[in-house]
Amino acid sequence: MQENPVKKTQKPFVIRVLICFVFAVVFFCIGFTVYFLGALEQFITSAMNQHITLKTLVSTSQLPNQTNVLLLGSDNDQKFTGNPLTQTMMVVHIDYAKKEVDMFSIPRDLWVKMPDQQIYGKIDQAAEYEGIPSAIKVVEQTFGIPIDHYAWVGLYGFIKSIDTIGGINLQVVHPVLDNAYPTDINSSNPYGYQRLDIQPGMQHMTGEEALQYVRSRHEDLIGDFGRTERQRQLLLALKQTLLSSPNLLTDAPRLFDNLKGQIKTDVTLTDSAQLGFFFLTNKNSLIEKQFTLSPPTYSQVGTSSDGQSIVIANATESAKLVETLFGTKAAQTTLTNLSNEQDIQQ
């Protein structure tokens, strides 16, 4: 005789659906909460870190009297191998006592003696020898300016820096029309080019747009000098942005972390916090001046014997300018020698 299997008592269908629904809602809520708790925890941790870090850094440090920081920018795009040229060279002189900040832009085509070499070349080529140390050396040797710190940024680092602070508001002071802007960023054809049209007026730019604005130099009546002017303008806008958004300054550790590998510098986190604190506390009384070796007073455009378009410093006036800014006298000898160099046609 076959035994009847024990029949399990099943709950009604409606109850089973209801239980499933309740479970679904509970799990949905858990998932939703997990996401937002994660975001909340991140926010609280970040806020606490910012506060503690900045307070600790600033209160435990002493400011020097003066600092010279060499800012370097390179086209480290897909085309380059080895040490890239320093397309942008700018010495920022900070006088903490006088509460003064001077920005001294060096034309990349300035014809100078290469460090540890017996040859002349454009100043931006110095970095090709030994990288950043050579770039520092050529500035110290040519102008007699002691460089205390340096900060180097490549194209990708520049884009990321601007994007990290949420883009930047910039006044386009002159229309930028470039029919041969290189397509060397994340491109399948790094040797190609595109056309660029940046209209004048106030704009909010992404990192890539800001790079286009400060990098383009074709079809600019004043070529590299126009570009230098735009680069200085961006630095001023960047400073203004940081000062008007104190959260960005207190957020320095996170920004530094974000830019790890994109910027090379010997400026420590402590140094940068000091700088930030100095600018923040003196933002209304700070004296700011900008200088460049612009023609015709400080330089003139010429041609090297191998046909390169170069900038030749006017030794006397340039030396005076450097001496006024940095108090160094070594410059005149170097610059005088430079303008006497027979390898150039003025």
Partner 1 sequence: MKKRVLLLFSILPLIIGYLFASFHAVLVTNTAPAFNLQNIAPGDMVTISNGGDIYQLTTTNSKQIIHGQNLIEPVMAGGNIIAVAKTINYASLLLYDQSGNKIKTLFNGNTGTVDTMHWVTDPAVNPAQDRIAYVSDKDRQQTNVPDNALYVLNLSDGTSTNIANPDPYSGGIAHPVFNPVNGNVLLYDYYQYDSKTLAPYSTIEEYSKDTGFTTTLTFENKNAYQESFSPDGKTLLFLGRNSDMNTVTLYRADFTDTGLMNVQTLASGDFAFPVFSNMKNRIYFLQSEENKGYNLMEATMQKGKLNNIGPVISGYQLAGNSSFMVTKMK
Q: Which is nearer to partner 1, 78 or 290 (CB)?
A: 290
Is 186 a binding residue for partner 1 by CB under 8 A? The answer is no
Contact residue for partner 1 among 194, 305, 333, 337 (CB under 8 A): 194
* Sheet strands (E) in the chain: 66-74, 86-95, 100-106, 111-113, 120-122, 149-153, 168-172, 176-182, 193-198, 201-205, 263-265, 287-292, 299-304, 309-313, 344-345
Q: Hey, what are 212's tokens?
A: 């286009």
Q: What is the DSSP string of 73-90?
A: EE--STT--SSPPEEEEE
CB of 171 to partner 1, least distance (A): 5
Tokens of 5: 């299997």
Tokens 């030396």 -> residue = 319
H-helix segments, 60-146: 127-130, 132-143
Q: Which structure tokens are listed for 186?
A: 């994340």
34 forms part of the interface with partner 1 (CB under 8 A): yes
Please identify, using beta-carbon distances, which residue of 165 and 280 lies nearer to partner 1: 165
**Binding segment for partner 1 among 86-94, 126-134, 169-177, 316-324 (CB under 8 A)?**
169-177
Q: Does 317 bind partner 1 (CB under 8 A)?
A: no
**Phi, then psi, of 7 in degrees rounded to 5:** -85, 125
149 to 168: interface string for partner 1, x by CB under 8 A: ----------------xxxx
Stretch that binds partner 1, among 57-65, 81-89, 195-203, 252-260 (CB under 8 A): 195-203
203 binds partner 1 (CB under 8 A): yes
Please report how close the Cβ of residue 338 comes to partner 1 at its closest, in angstroms: 22
Of 103, 106, 111, 114, give the one whose Cα is nearest residue 87: 106
Among 180, 283, 333, 345, binds partner 1 (CB under 8 A): 180
Strand, helix or coil for residue 253: helix
Question: Does 171 help bind partner 1 (rule: CB under 8 A)?
Answer: yes
How many other C-beta atoms are found inside a 10 Å radius of the C-beta of residue 233? 17
Q: Using the rule CB under 8 A, is 219 a contact of partner 1?
A: yes
Which residues in this chain contact partner 1 in the complex, by CB under 8 A? Answer: 20, 23-25, 27-32, 34-36, 39, 165-171, 173-177, 179-180, 193-195, 197, 199-205, 219-222, 225-226, 229, 233, 236-237, 240-241, 244-245, 294-296
